[in-house]
């Protein structure tokens, strides 16, 4: 049976990168950049005044025992003036270009003004309060590489580079499909022998939380004809299918059989892990990737975070990143010789160090125990007891 790392590699090898689309800057938050962004100009593009005050020539001013005549006023956005008389000064605003003939700015707080004469109270250093041209980056420097996920700073940087639109990955068309005769929609009347259809909502919430917006939803009964017709439709209309349930050994676990009949090539079925062992993954001859997750609710969410979310990020062209490593606050016993996913609550100590408090569930059906957890750690196969302080890979929901 595959290890989780082997399963992950197989998924990566079978993914196709999603197409590129061009979006205006207001719509790119959370998207993955698919082009490099270079500096349009030096940054700052000119010697930028960093304080409101007066611009002076530090040498000329030194001869004036601190008393300078204001020759003019220059605001941010004004073309630069010239200080012709180095014993004078120019009243200046933050963001203005440093006037020619000046090399320092004295803040308003450090001058005393009397009409158009200012008295400078402190000694002046050349280039004080001037953000020098090109000191942050040079024109043409690589600012953002393709594969970067765009958050607030990256969007601001792209705007600063003059880009009105960005080439980013198109959102995948995803469909979340629950299976099972026993499942009843929240809000509908439920019989004692029935179960709420919770997985689809958990999966959709996770996808939305991670920035995926094109998410459809369907529910299928454990009926070969219904599964065949609907899955055929979804394979024609979506990039990614995320199923839950119907992949175990029961007589009505029809999902693998129907998928293969519809031309979805099996990549793997079963991973040496608990929970989530029956996970099935395949790729349709027509393109879409199919993740068929076990139906037990803890298994479903674990497999989603462990495999599906990273795969979707990779398909969007995001540069790969290692999951963070985190230490356990208490020992954990792993009995089976399978990788073990342990839900955890993150705890931060007085020094800001984060560790993982184990929150074991009462089996893979017990999703009530997941309340308040932020994710899970992946522990190596047992039998073994991992001590307090053991460092493991952390995946968030």
Site for Mg ion contains 278 (CB under 5 A): no
Smallest distance from ligand AMP to CB 332, Å? 24
Residue 394 Ramachandran class (φ > 0 left, ψ -120 to 50 alpha, else beta): beta
What does the binding site for ligand AMP look like in residue numbers (CB under 6 A)? 178, 180, 182-183, 195, 197-200, 244-246, 248, 250, 253, 294-297, 365
Query: In the complex, what is the shortest distance from the CB of residue 328 to ligand AMP, in angstroms, rounded to a whole number?
Result: 28
Residue of 49, 54, 47, 48 lying closest to 109 (CA atoms) = 54
Told to check if 282 binds Mg ion by CB under 5 A, we report no
57 binds, among ligand AMP, Mg ion, none (CB under 5 to 8 A by kind): none
DSSP 330: S
198 binds, among ligand AMP, Mg ion, none (CB under 5 to 8 A by kind): ligand AMP
Stretch that binds Mg ion, among 78-86, 265-273, 287-295, 342-350 (CB under 5 A): 287-295
Judged by beta carbon distances under 5 to 8 A according to partner kind, the member of Mg ion, ligand AMP, none in contact with residue 178 is ligand AMP
Select the span of 77-85, 93-101, 290-298, 321-329 touching Mg ion (CB under 5 A): 290-298
Our CB check for ligand AMP shows the closer of 253 and 318 to be 253
Q: Tell me the residue nearest to ligand AMP as measured from the CB.
A: 295
For residue 28, give every residue at least 6 positions away whose Cβ sits within 8 Å of its Cβ, in sequence order, or none.
150, 155, 158, 166, 168
What does each C-alpha distance from 397 to 20, 310, 345 come to in angstroms?
A: 27, 12, 11
Q: Which is nearer to Mg ion, 53 or 295 (CB)?
A: 295
Beta carbons within 8 Å of 195's beta carbon, 6+ residues apart: 180, 182, 183, 184
Answer whether 116's CB lies under 8 Å from 137's CB. Answer: no
Cβ-based nearer residue to ligand AMP, 360 or 363: 363
Nearer to ligand AMP, 172 or 246 (CB): 246
With CB cut-offs between 5 and 8 Å by kind, which of Mg ion, ligand AMP, none does residue 294 bind? ligand AMP
Over the window 144 to 183, marking each residue x when it contacts Mg ion by CB under 5 A and - when it does not, the resulting string is ------------------------------------x---
> How far is it between the farthest Cα atoms of the chain?
96
- Taking CB under 5 A as the rule, does residue 358 contact Mg ion? no
294 binds Mg ion, rule: CB under 5 A: no
Specify the residue, 89 or 183, whose C-beta has the smaller distance to Mg ion.
Answer: 183
Nearer Cβ to Mg ion (137/183): 183
| Interaction of residue 317 with Mg ion, rule CB under 5 A | no
Distance of closest approach, residue 217 Cβ to ligand AMP, in angstroms = 11
Which residues neighbour 244 within 8 Å (Cβ) at sequence distance 6 or greater? 176, 177, 178, 179, 199, 200, 203, 292, 293, 294, 295, 300
Neighbouring residues of 96: CB distance < 8 A, sequence distance ≥ 6: 48, 49, 55, 74, 75, 76, 77, 78, 80
Give the three-state DSSP class for 288.
coil
Dist. CA 240–CA 152, nearest whole Å: 28
Q: Which of 44, 202, 245, 282 binds Mg ion (CB under 5 A)?
A: 245
Q: How far is the CB of 211 from Mg ion (least distance, A)?
A: 29
Closest approach of Cβ 280 to ligand AMP, in Å?
10
DSSP-assigned states of every residue in 106-152: EEGGGEEEETTEEEE-S---TTTTEE-TTSSB-TT-EEE-TT-B--H
Whose Cβ is closer to ligand AMP: residue 28's or residue 200's? 200
Report the partner that residue 187 touches, choosing among ligand AMP, Mg ion, none (CB closer than 5 to 8 A by kind).
none
- Between residues 200 and 259, which has the closer beta carbon with respect to ligand AMP? 200
SS3 (DSSP) at 378: strand
Give the nearer residue to ligand AMP in terms of CB position, either 291 or 394: 291
Residue at token pair 């003004």: 113
- CB of 245: closest distance to Mg ion in angstroms? 4
Which residue matches tokens 């259809």? Answer: 197
Q: Considering beta carbons, is residue 264 or 326 the nearer one to ligand AMP? A: 264
CA nearest 314: which of 38, 10, 22? 10
Tokens of 42: 């030096």
**Interacting residues toward Mg ion by CB under 5 A:** 180, 245-246, 295
């Amino acid at each position: 049976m595959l290890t989780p790392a082997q399963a992950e590699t197989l998924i990566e090898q079978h993914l196709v990168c999603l197409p590129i689309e061009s979006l205006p800057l207001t719509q790119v938050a959370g998207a993955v950049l698919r082009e490099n962004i270079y500096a349009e100009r030096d940054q700052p593009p000119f010697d930028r005044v960093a304080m409101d005050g007066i611009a002076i020539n530090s040498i000329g001013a030194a001869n004036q025992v601190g008393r300078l005549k204001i020759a003019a006023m220059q605001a941010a956005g004004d073309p630069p003036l010239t200080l012709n008389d180095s014993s004078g000064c120019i009243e200046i605003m933050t963001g203005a270009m440093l006037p020619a003939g000046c090399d320092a700015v004295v803040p308003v707080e450090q001058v005393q003004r009397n009409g158009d004469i200012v008295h400078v109270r402190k000694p002046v250093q050349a280039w004080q309060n001037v953000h020098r041209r090109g000191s942050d980056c040079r024109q043409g420097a690589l600012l953002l590489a393709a594969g970067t996920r765009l958050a607030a700073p990256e969007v601001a940087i792209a705007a600063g580079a003059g880009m009105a639109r960005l080439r980013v990955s198109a959102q995948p068309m995803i469909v979340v499909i629950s299976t099972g005769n026993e499942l009843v929609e929240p809000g509908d009347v439920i019989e004692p022998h029935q179960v709420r259809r919770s997985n689809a909502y958990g999966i959709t919430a996770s996808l939305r939380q991670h920035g995926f917006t094109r998410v459809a939803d369907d529910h299928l009964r454990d009926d070969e004809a219904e599964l065949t017709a609907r899955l055929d439709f979804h394979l024609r209309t979506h990039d990614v299918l995320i199923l839950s349930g119907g992949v175990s050994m029961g007589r009505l676990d029809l999902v693998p059989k129907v998928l293969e009949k519809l031309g979805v090539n099996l990549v793997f079925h079963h991973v040496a892990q608990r929970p989530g062992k029956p996970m099935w993954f395949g790729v349709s001859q027509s393109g879409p990737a199919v993740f068929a997750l076990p139906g037990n609710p803890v298994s479903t969410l674990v497999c989603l975070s462990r495999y599906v979310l990273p795969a979707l990020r990779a398909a969007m062209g995001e540069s790969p990143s290692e999951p963070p490593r985190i230490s356990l606050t208490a020992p954990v016993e792993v009995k089976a010789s399978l990788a073990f996913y342990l839900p955890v609550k993150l705890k931060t100590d007085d020094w800001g160090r984060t560790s993982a408090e184990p929150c074991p569930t009462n089996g893979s059906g017990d999703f009530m125990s997941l309340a308040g957890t932020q994710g899970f750690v992946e522990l190596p196969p047992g039998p073994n007891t991992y001590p307090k302080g053991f460092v493991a890979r952390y995946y968030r929901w």
